Amino acid sequence: MSQPRAKLKYRRILLKLSGEILSGKRGFGIDQQAVVWIAQQIAGLKRLGVEVAIMIGGGNIVRGIRAASQGMDRMTADYMGMLATVINGLAIRDGLEKLNVPVRVHSAVEVPKLAETYFARRVVSQLEKGRVVILSGGTGSPYFSTDTAAALRAVEIGAEVMLKATNVDGVYTSDPKKDPQARFFEEIEYMEVVRRRLQVMDITAITLCMENHIPLIVFNYKHGNNIRDAVLGKRIGTLVH
């Protein structure tokens, strides 16, 4: 039985997952245990009555900008990265279906045998019917990150918040893994992120969220029930607004 929705701070969310999360301890490819864990977390959100859209990255398979830096044509590299996100989306769909969670995969790159072609109104309709929607293919155009794609989709589907799962506890003044003096922000404004050039998301993504008043919560996905706690309004990670 779903908990009363009055307990939810956010009813419709955009969850941004990096492809690396799917690689587990291997650091590359798709680790089935990681897929199962993610599917269980999302199934838990559905039991709470949350409408969940997921933007998935593809860095565990191929990262376009990295391939381009090694000499590949940038547009070709970015399209390869988009296809990698479709592969990851199918993996998450499989994990959710095994838990009997209704789910659809949309792609901004047309691959009709694998996923529905992205259309915002159809996504909203599916969310309202209780389905999880996985968004793949980035924006469908090269030169845009999946962070920017996530921010754009959050605006288009009317998400109340964007949750960005990372492997650190939130936003710091610098990389806490390299700088022991790095200071943690519990809360920070979007313009301050831009001014300090903090590595939260690229500037295009930050601007989209700021101009459309979509709060962003950056948190460590490895810590217990952080995703669940976020939608319940508990203080986790860093709130960017």
Read off the pLDDT of residues 186-196 as tens digits, 9 standing for 90 and up: 999 999 999 99
Lowest average pLDDT, out of 52-61, 67-76, 101-110, goes to 67-76
Lowest average pLDDT, out of 38-42, 125-129, 173-177, 232-236, goes to 173-177
pLDDT in tens, 206-218: 999 999 999 999 9
Which of the two residues, 149 and 26, has the higher pLDDT score?
Answer: 149
What backbone phi and psi angles, to 5 degrees, belong to 132? -80, 140
Give the whole-angstrom CA distance, residue 223 versus residue 83.
Answer: 29
pLDDT at 3: 43
pLDDT at 61: 92
DSSP-based three-state secondary structure for 75: helix
The token pair at 51 is 């409408």
Whether 1 has a pLDDT exceeding 80, the answer reads: no
Q: Which domains does the chain have, with CATH numbers?
A: 5-240 (3.40.1160.10)
In angstroms, the Cα distances linking 163 to 5, 45, 62, 160, 222 are 19, 13, 23, 10, 14
Give the whole-angstrom CA distance, residue 215 versus residue 240.
Answer: 6
pLDDT at 168: 87
pLDDT at 2: 46
Please state the rounded mean pLDDT for residues 68-94.
Answer: 94
pLDDT in tens, 92-135: 999 999 999 999 999 999 999 999 999 999 999 999 999 999 99
Please report which confidence band the pLDDT of residue 13 belongs to, taking 50, 70 and 90 as the band edges: very high
Please report which confidence band the pLDDT of residue 175 belongs to, taking 50, 70 and 90 as the band edges: confident
pLDDT at 237: 94
Which of the two residues, 183 and 67, has the higher pLDDT score?
Answer: 183
Please state the rounded mean pLDDT for residues 71-99.
Answer: 95
Cβ atoms of residues 149 and 56 within 8 Å: no
Q: What's this model's pTM, rounded to 2 decimal places?
A: 0.93
Please state the rounded mean pLDDT for residues 142-153.
Answer: 96
Please report which confidence band the pLDDT of residue 158 belongs to, taking 50, 70 and 90 as the band edges: very high
Whether 6 has a pLDDT exceeding 90, the answer reads: no
Burial of 129 (0-12, 13-18, 19+ CB in 10 A): exposed
